[in-house]
Every structure is written in C-alpha cells, then in structure tokens.
C-alpha cells in the first residue's frame, strides 16, 4: 500500500498559467477529498467525491478552480489563470467509506508556487 | 458554526519532559475528534481518534488524548517527549465527511 500518491510534489507556474494537480487515492477507497494548506488560512476543505461522483465543492473558489474524478484511481484539481494567492500546499486524501469516524489518509501534498 | 481551536501556536518542551497540546471544539453535538501530526514535507498522519465511550484514547508512539464534554476539549498528552516528536500537530473534528482542522501547534523539542 503506497498510500495516497500526489504528483507533482512541487510545481511552479507563472501568473495566469494553468496548473493541474494529480492524485491517486488508495485502492478501494470510495471517498476522495482535496484540502488546501496555507500559513494564513491553515487547512481548508475544498471538495469531496464519493464513488467518483462530486458531492461537495463548497470550499472551491468558484471561478478558476475545478476538480474531476474520471475514474476510481485518480482525481485532478485544475486551477486556471493562477494567481499568487493560489500558492499553497494542496493535499489529496482518501478514506475507505464516508463516515465521521473513518480514518482519512493524506498524501504528501503538492506545493504550488505562483510567480 | 463548527470550529476547532488550538490556542497555542508553538510549544517548546525539553526532551523527556511531559507534553500537553490543547484543543477546544465548538460543534452542535459531539463530533468525532482526531489528532493528526505533520512532519516536515510530509502529509498528515493520524495519531489517534475519539469514539464516544472511554474519555481517554490511546494513540501511536505513546500519545494519548482526553475528551471532556463539559469543557469541549480534546487535549493531547505524552508522558515523555522524544526529539523525533518535533512536528506540527493538528486537532480536527468531523460530523459527517468534512474534517475541520485547528490552526495547528508547532512542537519544538529542546535536546
């Protein structure tokens, strides 16, 4: 079990460019989450998929952020027209089932730097 | 609104000393509660989680936490800190599927 795999680990983009972040959840896990971590805001929920279906994207900035899960083995987070304030560590996570007491497993994150 | 508060941004302890990291929660009802640890350049790793029942929960690496409904708290403790415990610790609550995290406490260990 390699855990949740995120690629790339580091990404530098120029302001206005597009960034795509990849996540491979743990095999067999039905729930996939994206969180964002910054010094100022801490850990923030972005979006959640259950059995590949988008369930809650309430944490996503509406205009430039989108997330997809085209199959059970990977999810992507796409940021269009990146801005310096998008610089953060983006964490993908997965859990076996969706229940409040279920352990959520986190990847090591992708550090996005917008210059 | 649901929230988790960690009032101490940074705590410094000497190696071998005891440790307590504070966590307060504010939820309508009693959430499931967790402590996660983040080592440098790593993701979050679960230390322990609270199930309704015994208020003291045992976790990995000698960590334990005590739940108090009257104080709305879930403090993390360790009897003897090791230098390898140097990390950032996050308290989190969950009522459904969405984890709500505290701001984290950086633990520094003096040799």
CATH number where B63 lies: 2.60.40.10
| Closest residue to B43, CB basis, from A50, A98, A109 | A109
- Residue B86 domain boundaries: 3-110
Picking from A26, A112, A109, the residue whose alpha carbon sits closest to that of residue B43 is A109
- Kindly determine whether residue B96 and residue A103, on different chains, have CB atoms separated by under 8 Å: no
Contacts 24+ apart (CB under 8 A), A62-68: A67/A34
| A73-99 tens-digit pLDDT | 999 999 999 999 999 999 999 999 877
Count of structural domains, chain B = 1
* Average per-residue pLDDT for chain B: 93
Residues recorded for chain A: 115
Band the pLDDT of A1: cuts 50, 70, 90.
Answer: confident
Structural domains of chain A, with CATH:
5-114 (2.60.40.10)
- Closest-CA residue in chain B for A107? B43
DSSP reduced 3-state for A85: helix
- B36 neighbourhood in chain A, CB within 8 Å: 106
Band the pLDDT of B33: cuts 50, 70, 90.
Answer: very high
| B71-82 tens-digit pLDDT | 999 999 999 999
């Amino acid at each position: 079990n390699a855990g949740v795999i995120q690629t790339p680990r580091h990404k530098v983009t120029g302001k206005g460019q597009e960034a795509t972040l990849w996540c491979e959840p743990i095999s067999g896990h039905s729930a996939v989450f994206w969180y964002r971590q910054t010094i100022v805001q801490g850990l923030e929920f972005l979006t959640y998929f259950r059995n590949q279906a988008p369930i809650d994207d309430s944490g996503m900035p509406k205009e430039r952020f989108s997330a997809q899960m085209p199959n059970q083995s990977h999810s992507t987070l796409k940021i269009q027209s990146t801005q310096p304030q998008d610089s953060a560590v983006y964490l993908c996570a997965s859990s076996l089932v969706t229940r409040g007491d279920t352990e959520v497993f986190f990847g090591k994150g992708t550090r996005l730097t917008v210059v | 609104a649901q929230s988790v508060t960690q009032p101490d941004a940074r705590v410094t302890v000497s190696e071998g000393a005891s440790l307590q990291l504070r966590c307060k929660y504010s939820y309508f009802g009693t959430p499931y509660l967790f402590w996660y640890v983040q080592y440098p350049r790593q993701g979050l790793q679960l230390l322990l989680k609270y199930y309704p029942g015994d208020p003291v929960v045992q976790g990995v690496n000698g960590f334990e936490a005590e739940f108090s409904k009257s104080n709305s708290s879930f403090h993390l403790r360790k009897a003897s800190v090791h230098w390898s415990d140097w990390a950032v610790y996050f308290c989190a609550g969950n009522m459904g599927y969405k984890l709500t995290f505290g701001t984290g406490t950086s633990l520094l260990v003096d040799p």
